[in-house]
Amino acid sequence: MPIFKLGRVKHPIFVDSAWSGSEVRVEPLIPSLDLIAVYGAGGHGRAVAEAAFLRWPDSEIVYIDDACLSPALDGRPVYLPEALSPGTPVALGIGDNAARERVGRWLMDRDQPLLLVAHPHASFSPSAEPGSGLFVGPNAVVHTGARLGAGAVVNSGAVVEHDARVGDFAHVAPGAVLGGGVFIDSGVLVGLGARVLPGVHVGERAVVAAGAVVTEDVEPEATVVGVPARPVGQVV
């Protein structure tokens, strides 16, 4: 028998509201959740679970993980994926892009609702467009007209400026900044403290190394490092 049961949740997709203390409605509004399953019982999953708890303090929060050896983490139970019943809202708690995409697409194929989790201290423009399964960390800023894909991560203190686009399952790491009109494609990793200057396009599954400053477009699957950023093998 499935161990997870839904309570008062009525919508198939869950998008958070109340950014930065304001009651800005982002369709659809879900004021409370009885149970939240965080898929991933590692460091990133713990951060997602904590943000979810701060957002919905009356909810029960559990972990889903097929590799965790402990039956509980931070006092919250850990279950195998087989225990997940249809309809239970799931927050993606996996930091690695490829693994998060693999799990996210598996959940989508099951029609499992993906929960958008934003830390209460994140700032999110009401004109920005968030995707399902998004995580926005503490002190992150998502500005006017930004568009964020499914399963993306905007981590602690990261900035996504006006009209920037973040692809599905991409990750903007802590302290990284995307300038206005930047487009990072699906599966891209923008490393700790990196900067991508306005209007630049970073191709699918490329990696921007920590501290790099990207001044021109990046080819798909390339890794760029340095200031200004250059593909690995071209740095002098």
**In this structure, which amino acid lies at residue 63?**
Y
The length of the chain in residues reads: 236
**In this structure, which amino acid lies at residue 129?**
E
Contacts of 223 (CB under 8 A, 6+ apart): 206, 207, 209, 231, 232
The residue ranking higher by pLDDT, 31 or 113, is 113
Flag whether pLDDT at 24 surpasses 50. no
Count Cβ neighbours within 10 Å for each residue of 16-55 and write b for 16 or more, e otherwise.
Answer: bbbbeeeeeebeeebeebbbbbbbbbbebbbbbbbbbbeb
Instruction: Report the percent of the chain where pLDDT is more than 70.
Output: 85
Give the tens place of pLDDT for each residue, 6-18.
222 222 233 333 3
171 assigned ligand-binding residue: yes
For the chain, list the domains and their CATH numbers. Answer: 19-117 (3.40.50.20)
In this structure, of 110-114, 123-127, 198-202, the range with the lowest mean pLDDT score is 110-114
Reported as type and span, the H/E element at residue 177 is: strand 177-178
Q: Specify the pLDDT at position 12.
A: 28
pLDDT category at 129 given cuts 50, 70, 90 is very high
Give the tens place of pLDDT for each residue, 61-73.
999 998 877 888 8
* pLDDT, the chain, mean: 86
Q: Specify the pLDDT at position 67.
A: 85
Neighbours of 59 (CB within 10 A): 16
| Distance separating alpha carbons of residues 184 and 225, to the nearest angstrom | 16
In this structure, of 50-54, 108-112, 131-135, the range with the lowest mean pLDDT score is 108-112
Active-site residue set? 162
Q: What is the DSSP letter of 82?
A: G
203 assigned ligand-binding residue: no
Give the predicted TM-score (pTM) of the model: 0.85
In this structure, of 1-5, 43-47, 54-58, the range with the lowest mean pLDDT score is 1-5
Flag whether pLDDT at 25 surpasses 70. no
The residue ranking higher by pLDDT, 173 or 4, is 173
